[in-house]
Amino acid sequence: MSTFWRYIRIQLFVLLCGIVGPIFLAIYFATGPDPMLEWMFWTGLLVTAADVLIALGITAFGAHSAARTAELEARGVLALAQITGIHETNTRINEQPLVKLDLSITGPGLTPFTAQDRVVASVSRLPMITNRKLVAIVDPTTNEYQIDWERSALVGGLMPATFTVSEDNHTYDLTGQSGPLLEILQILKAHGIGMNNMVDLRANPAARQQVQAVVRQSAVQQVPAPAAMAPSAPVTAPTGPSTAQRLQELETLRATGAITDAEYAAKRQQIIEAL
């Protein structure tokens, strides 16, 4: 969307919120010059001017933000942002908690660094935050970064990730495998391929070969060792998350304001008593 049309949309919204200004001007000019209504003219003029300035400011900020995002996408590096801490801020935006995240960011060609970021823990983002693995796009020169929530959903296992290799006549499921998926995202970005629901790499043999290598390597690593497949060794299906994982998820729910302190204490006691 061009900056002009973005401004028009924002200006219409701001005028709708501050419609009293245009209304006062319309009444003043409709009734003709009247000293008794002169206050309407000046009030309407000031409010309308404020509406225009606010719309221009929002448009400029949005354009700058969009330009910075585009610049990061063009020259930035995809990195893994591991969440090492989640802190409450006691602030809510649109009834959704604002949390502070401690991040440890690593990526190809980057010196690992730590950072803090404040994010809105919306319903769609909460599972990614709980998973503690996010994708960030980082400027390798300044270490300036932005969290990429769409790519984070894929790496975090919230989106299906299946790859069909025609040569093998097989479809591989890499859903939730953060390492291989991040590597594949880095390959796609290096070749200028966007992240779509369905990516066909037949038109790009180089990218296709690299992605297939990652997929096959991941499939090999998933195959259990022969000793583990011996019939004498009983296989026990996982019964659910470990106690540590349950306690960590509980900590995240409290930090994001999803549960109260009383609910946190009660659920924590239940988990400990079940040991």
User: Tokens representing 183?
Assistant: 């590597």
| Separation between Cα atoms, residue 228 and residue 222, nearest integer Å | 12
Q: Is the pLDDT of residue 1 over 80?
A: no
pLDDT in tens, 3-12: 666 656 665 6
pTM: 0.62
SS3 98: strand
Of the listed ranges 60-64, 76-80, 168-172, 225-229, the one predicted with least confidence: 225-229
pLDDT in tens, 102-139: 999 999 889 999 999 999 988 888 889 988 999 999 99
User: Tokens representing 180?
Assistant: 């291989």
Nearest C-alpha neighbor of 154 from the set 138, 131, 121: 131
**Segment holding 9, helix H or strand E:** helix 3-17
Q: Is the pLDDT of residue 76 over 90?
A: no
pLDDT in tens, 216-239: 888 777 655 554 444 555 555 445
